[in-house]
Structure 1
Amino acid sequence: MNFATLDLNLLRVLDALFRDGSTVKAADRLAMSQSSVSGALSRLRHALGDQLFIRQSNRLVATDYAAGLEAGLREELERLEALLTRPAAFDPQTAEGTFRIAASDFFAELLMPPLGDLLQKSAPHIRAQLVDLVPNDYVASLERRNADIALIPDLALPEWVNREPLFSSPFHVIARAGNPGTAELKDGMHMPMDVFCALHHVLFSPEGNLTAMGDAALNRVGKSRQVAMTVPVFSGVCRAVSESDLIALVPAQLASKVANSFRLCVFEPPMEIDPALIIGIWHKRSDNNPMASWMRRQVFSLMTALDVDT
């Protein structure tokens, strides 16, 4: 038998013949004509190399070969039906699964704590995983199923990726409380340009780049800054600032979140920096996945709450 050329509809006919022992009754079950069922049986006999059924009185009796197929065939058809049947209404309280979020460690501070609380109360059997956001690999991670969503700055995307704008993130300057370079400044003030350019900076950059959005803004006004180090995670940036006289430009929401725990002062930057628009992206193939859809709504709702006047 060449399975690649077998018409799988014939297996439904075979199952109906097992159940009913009659081409007439099988035709009724399948809403087919008796001649169509008889024709299907003839093709099955040819494909499988066996008579399959012998007429005994007014009933078809399975051959030994066919009888050996009956239970397994029914099990496989039921499994296939279950595979192709759309799931029942999604209930987060009973749903089980894993949802992977590709994002920087910014979201370990801003997303994962409230998401953990939400899942514990509303979906206790769903596991959320924050996975590394590999630079320049955002879209590929969705394609390879390494992530269910990615939280990234806005950029051009292929047509098979969906996007949802989440929040705009301005930038603030952070310095440790007691940094002598900012001793004359009060928390929340605009940092003077000469102070900003004189102090050494730690820069968030997973790739190790020595320039970022802040440098483009400085270039527009004919200024530059001194980058002393780069760190691939925001937590490392904040830690370096808190234990040195370095300063850093970080997303305003993050600065507000960690200022107390890291004992940081937060200042407005001296130049205008366009806020970064953060978006959520996902593969269109999961548009109708009930758990993925529910999780996207929860994550995106938590993230849009960050779009406030900071």
Structure 2
Amino acid sequence: MNFATFDLNLLRVLDALFREGSTVKAGERLALSQSAVSGALSRLRQGLNDPLFVRHGNRLVATDYANGLREPVREELERLEQILAPPAAFDPATACGAFRIAASDFFADLLMPKLGDLLQKRAPGIRAQLVDLVPHDYVASLEQRNADIALIPDAAMPEWVNRAPLFHSPFKVIARRANPGLSGVIPGAVMPMDVFCALHHVLFSPEGNLAAMGDAALAQVGKKRQVAMTVPVFSGVCRAVSESDLIALVPAQLAEKVAPTFGLRVFEPPMQIDPPLIIGIWHKRSDRTPLAVWMREQVFDLLRALEV
């Protein structure tokens, strides 16, 4: 037998013949005509080089060779049925697995504590992992970081990626409470442009760039700021500001979250910066994966609550 050209559908006919002992009844079981079953039996005999069944009165009796196939064929068909059956209903309480989230460390403060609490209460067998984005190519995080989702600023996506809008991320200025350059400036108010440009800045940049969205916004009004250092993680930016007279532009949600912990004051920037839309992206191959679907829903619900 040439297995490469063998029609596996014939195994269903063979199993029906074993069960029924009749081409007519086998046809009824499979919703096929008697002639179709007879034709399939002829192909089976040719392919397996054995008569398979001999007529004994009104019944077909399996040959010794065919009898040896009876249980293995039935077991394999049942195994294939189980493999191809729809997945069972997803139960987070008993589910086990891992879910990888590629994002900046911004989300270590704004997502992971709440997600950790949620998983501990509702899905203790699921492990959440926050990993770095791939620099310069955030979409590649889905492949190179083996991430289930990536949390990134809105951008054009390739055809194989799905996306969900989550929240807008405006900017605030942070400074330590004792910063002498901000004497008389009321927290929550707009930081004067001359003060903003005179003070030295910490810039978040994983790549070490010396300019970002804030600099583009300043350039539109003919201004520049003084970048004293770059730091690849937001936690480092906040720490540097809290222990020096440097200031920084950071996402508003992060500023409000960490200000009490780091002893910071928060101000409005003096220039207009369009708040980027943060989106979640994932590979289309996991559109219907039960664990991935449930985890996306939990993560996205937590993040949509950050809209200001």
**How does the TM-score come out when normalised to structure 2?**
0.89
Give the corresponding residue for 2:11: 11
Give the corresponding residue for 1:238: 238
Q: Deviations over 1:185-227 (max 9, x none)?
A: 3322322222222222221122222211001001011111222
Q: Provide the secondary structure at the position in 2 that maps to 1:150.
A: strand
Give the corresponding residue for 1:302: 302
Name the CA shift for 1:248/1:63 in 2 (closer, same or farther; >3 Å): farther
Partner amino acid, structure 1, of 2:266: V
Aligned ranges 1:2-81 → 2 under 5 Å? 2-55=2-55, 58-64=59-65, 66-81=66-81
Q: In structure 2, how many angstroms separate the alpha carbons of the residues matched to 1:36 and 1:129?
A: 55
Name the CA shift for 1:250/1:145 in 2 (closer, same or farther; >3 Å): closer
Aligned ranges 1:160-179 → 2 under 5 Å? 160-179=160-179
- The Cα of 1:119 is off from its aligned counterpart by 1.9
Give the corresponding residue for 1:252: 252
1:283 aligns to 2:280 (yes or no): no
Give the corresponding residue for 1:115: 115
Q: In structure 1, how many angstroms separate the alpha carbons of the residues matched to 2:259 and 2:196?
A: 19
Name the CA shift for 1:195/1:16 in 2 (closer, same or farther; >3 Å): same
Contact kept, 8 Å, 1:26 with 1:37, in 2: the verdict is: yes
Q: Deviations over 1:249-304 (max 9, x none)?
A: 11010011111112222221121111111111223333333332222222111111
Name the CA shift for 1:163/1:95 in 2 (closer, same or farther; >3 Å): same
Partner amino acid, structure 2, of 1:289: T
Partner amino acid, structure 1, of 2:165: P
Contact kept, 8 Å, 1:105 with 1:234, in 2: the verdict is: yes
Q: Provide the secondary structure at the position in 1 that maps to 2:217.
A: helix
Q: Provide the secondary structure at the position in 1 that maps to 2:29.
A: helix
Q: In structure 2, how many angstroms separate the alpha carbons of the residues matched to 1:232 and 1:292?
A: 29
- The Cα of 1:166 is off from its aligned counterpart by 1.1
1:271 aligns to 2:271 (yes or no): yes
- The Cα of 1:101 is off from its aligned counterpart by 1.8
Q: In structure 2, how many angstroms separate the alpha carbons of the residues matched to 1:51 and 1:141?
A: 57
Q: In structure 1, how many angstroms separate the alpha carbons of the residues matched to 2:220 and 2:5?
A: 66
Partner amino acid, structure 1, of 2:64: T
Q: Provide the secondary structure at the position in 1 that maps to 2:280.
A: strand
Q: In structure 2, how many angstroms separate the alpha carbons of the residues matched to 1:108 and 1:62?
A: 68
Contact kept, 8 Å, 1:23 with 1:37, in 2: the verdict is: yes
Q: Deviations over 1:150-209 (max 9, x none)?
A: 211111112332222111111011122323333443322322222222222221122222
- The Cα of 1:39 is off from its aligned counterpart by 1.8
Name the CA shift for 1:4/1:181 in 2 (closer, same or farther; >3 Å): farther
Q: In structure 1, how many angstroms separate the alpha carbons of the residues matched to 2:73 and 2:108?
A: 49
- The Cα of 1:69 is off from its aligned counterpart by 4.0
Q: In structure 1, how many angstroms separate the alpha carbons of the residues matched to 2:69 and 2:260?
A: 70
Contact kept, 8 Å, 1:240 with 1:246, in 2: the verdict is: yes
Name the CA shift for 1:21/1:129 in 2 (closer, same or farther; >3 Å): farther
Partner amino acid, structure 2, of 1:35: S
- The Cα of 1:56 is off from its aligned counterpart by 5.3
Partner amino acid, structure 2, of 1:189: A
Partner amino acid, structure 2, of 1:196: F
Give the corresponding residue for 2:140: 140
Aligned-pair Cα RMSD in Å: 2.4
Give the corresponding residue for 1:206: 206
Give the corresponding residue for 1:99: 99
Structure 2: runs of 5 or more not aligned = none
How many residues end up aligned between the 2 structures? 307
Q: In structure 1, how many angstroms separate the alpha carbons of the residues matched to 2:31 and 2:131?
A: 51
Q: In structure 1, how many angstroms separate the alpha carbons of the residues matched to 2:282 and 2:64?
A: 52
Q: Provide the secondary structure at the position in 2 that maps to 1:181.
A: helix
Q: In structure 1, how many angstroms separate the alpha carbons of the residues matched to 2:292 and 2:301?
A: 14
**How does the TM-score come out when normalised to structure 1?**
0.88
Q: In structure 2, how many angstroms separate the alpha carbons of the residues matched to 1:207 and 1:3?
A: 55
Deviating more after overlay: 184-193 vs 53-62? 53-62
Partner amino acid, structure 2, of 1:45: R
Q: In structure 2, how many angstroms separate the alpha carbons of the residues matched to 1:118 and 1:240?
A: 31
Q: Taking every aligned residue pair, what percent have the same amino acid on both sides? A: 76
Name the CA shift for 1:49/1:136 in 2 (closer, same or farther; >3 Å): farther
Name the CA shift for 1:90/1:246 in 2 (closer, same or farther; >3 Å): same
Q: In structure 2, how many angstroms separate the alpha carbons of the residues matched to 1:131 and 1:63?
A: 60
